[in-house]
Structure 1
Amino acid sequence: MSGMGTVLRGAAQRLAAVSDTPRLDAELLMAHALGVDRQALLLDPSRYAVPADFDALLARRMNHEPVAYILGYRDFWTIRLAVGPGTLIPRPDSETLMEAAVAHFGEAGPRNILDLGTGPGTLLYAAMSEWPDAQGLGVDSSETALGYARANAAALELSDRVELQWGDWAEQVTGPFDLILCNPPYIADSEQLMPDVADHEPAGALFAGPDGLDDYRRIIPDLPRILAPGGVAILEIGHTQHISVGELAEAAGFKVACRQDLGGRDRALLLTRA
């Protein structure tokens, strides 16, 4: 086994104490330290010498700092997003919302897209990259998140098609929009999270009152005002919240459908006019 292989194996063994994906974490950190793509590292690990700063990156991860913050980015759908402290890290589960949107609109796509709680632009830019003719509005109550969203819009060459604004959900939004995307906070205040989430990611993007439904109660009643005829609002939910959030949507006059994530858990609710 090469020196690189031995180091990666040892790093993965250490990371198993703090990560569900220790080998992946080790490979991503090593590639980052080398300044190469992970695929290049995996194709021929023996051509690389272990860089001096790898141990420092490994120590940060051992201290529960999220890999995405250490790398400064997270890949999501077909795009790469800059992320850092103060922004919610994009999750693979959230791609369920994009799959639902693509299934609903097909190639024609929506004309106008709204992303409530856009963070670094996660859902909005994934959708805008999918449909090059669409215009987008991203709203967030975090100036830090909006700073990352602006930088990501520029990096993805979307700045001329997107508007970003500070806002408290849809209060300052007029519409109408063909596609409304939203991944609100939905974790109950009492729920215990892993240290890499609880100690690093912004609490305001995670927690939503005693039952995790506080933000849905504010967002959903306002959606009929801004959803275009024939449009769809797609909300991420916690995997036990299908019934409770669905009832809120039905009370607001919507038909509700649910899509599961890759793990077979309820993850996205599609709201259309009843």
Structure 2
Amino acid sequence: MTGDNSIKQLLHKAAASISSDSPRLDAEILLCHLLNKPRSHLFTWPEQVLEPKLVETFLKLVQRRCAGEPVAYLTGQQEFWSLQLKVSPAVLIPRPDTELLVELALQWPANTPLDVLDLGTGSGAIALALASERPAWRITATDQSEEVLNIARDNAGRHQLSNVRFNQGSWYQAVTSQTFDLIVSNPPYIPAADPHLATGGLQFEPEQALVSGVIGLDDIEAIAGEAVRYLNDNGWLLVEHGYDQGTAVRQIFERHGLETVRTELDLEGRERVTLGTLNESS
């Protein structure tokens, strides 16, 4: 990839070398990141010749992308629910599938001040999406890693969201005697031996945010198992899971005393989020 260092030629050669579902888009995002320009700049100034140092940096990013490293880690950011979030290899990259969890939580009335718990917040994606849409809600976001929580705090500061507090600890260890109207989580749910962990960029993401025991349900079991202690009467637990885990997760919820259990489908018609409630009479 030497010779013509115009935007047009660099993008053409980069797209030809990247093996992904969207090689051209990947190349454009990386170049826009370096130029600090919107994608429209690439189309408006395709003949612009770039400085050699910038070209060198771009080519290094392209090489890393060719090795499978996710674009979000290369740029240090990922959009979720219209929020531009800082990410690093310490946190799971927020995915569109998780927006279903946000949509379901937002079905609760906007003018009702709820206490909400986001377990395993990572970059803060779920908690901050809810905070941006429901300023009256009091949201607690937890993670076992202080490094990860600092990223989430930074994202909250970037978007001036003050109705979220961050607590360190593993699952409910991060909260004491408080109870909540909603508990939401996108926990690890991939089986330890799943071959997909070595492909598609997953090998660059934190294993502790992906893997959950032999069949992928250890953390969901832990979350559901303690939920009744931390839910208010008529409170709800909403958990994201794998497309083939719906039946097992419903059984886990029901075994631990949750009622009105159901599973919602994602945009591709796959079981993605299971929810259940603690009825007042329970």
1:185 aligns with: 188
SS in 1 for 2:192: coil
SS in 2 for 1:264: coil
| Contact 1:109–1:131 (CA under 8 A) maintained in structure 2 | no
1:202 aligns with 2:203: no
| Contact 2:6–2:47 (CA under 8 A) maintained in structure 1 | no
Deviates more, 1:40-49 or 1:131-140: 40-49
Instruction: Figure out how many residues of one structure are paired with residues of the other and give that number.
Output: 268
SS in 2 for 1:171: helix
- The structure that has the greater radius of gyration is 2
| Contact 1:96–1:261 (CA under 8 A) maintained in structure 2 | yes
SS in 1 for 2:171: coil
Q: 1:45 to 1:108 in 2, by over 3 A?
A: farther
Q: 1:206 to 1:247 in 2, by over 3 A?
A: same
1:32 aligns with: 33
1:267 aligns with 2:272: yes
- Amino acid paired to 2:149: L
| Contact 2:111–2:136 (CA under 8 A) maintained in structure 1 | no
How far residue 3 of structure 1 moved from its aligned partner, in angstroms, is 4.5
Paired with 1:146 and 1:182, the residues of 2 have a C-alpha distance of: 15
- Amino acid paired to 2:166: L
Q: Deviations over 1:29-65 (max 9, x none)?
A: 1111211123x33552426444422212111211222
How far residue 272 of structure 1 moved from its aligned partner, in angstroms, is 1.6
Q: Deviations over 1:87-118 (max 9, x none)?
A: 1110111111011112x214335522211000
Root-mean-square deviation (CA, aligned residues, Å) is 2.0
Paired with 1:42 and 1:108, the residues of 2 have a C-alpha distance of: 43
- Amino acid paired to 2:224: I
Paired with 2:226 and 2:278, the residues of 1 have a C-alpha distance of: 13
Paired with 2:35 and 2:207, the residues of 1 have a C-alpha distance of: 33
1:68 aligns with: 72
- Amino acid paired to 2:92: L
Alignment identity in percent? 38
1:44 aligns with 2:44: yes
> Runs of 4+ in structure 1 displaced over 6 angstroms?
none
2:95 aligns with: 91
Q: TM-score, normalised by structure 1?
A: 0.91
Q: How does 1:1-274 map to 2 (within 5 A)?
A: 3-16=6-19, 19-38=20-39, 40-41=40-41, 44-46=44-46, 48-50=48-50, 51-52=54-55, 53-102=57-106, 104-108=107-111, 111-158=114-161, 160-173=162-175, 174-192=177-195, 193-195=197-199, 197-254=201-258, 255-274=260-279
SS in 1 for 2:201: helix
How far residue 24 of structure 1 moved from its aligned partner, in angstroms, is 1.8
| Contact 2:191–2:212 (CA under 8 A) maintained in structure 1 | yes
Q: Deviations over 1:187-213 (max 9, x none)?
A: 000001244534321111110111001
How far residue 261 of structure 1 moved from its aligned partner, in angstroms, is 1.4
- Amino acid paired to 1:190: A
- Amino acid paired to 1:129: S
SS in 2 for 1:238: coil
> Unaligned stretches of 5+ in structure 1?
none
Paired with 1:33 and 1:117, the residues of 2 have a C-alpha distance of: 31
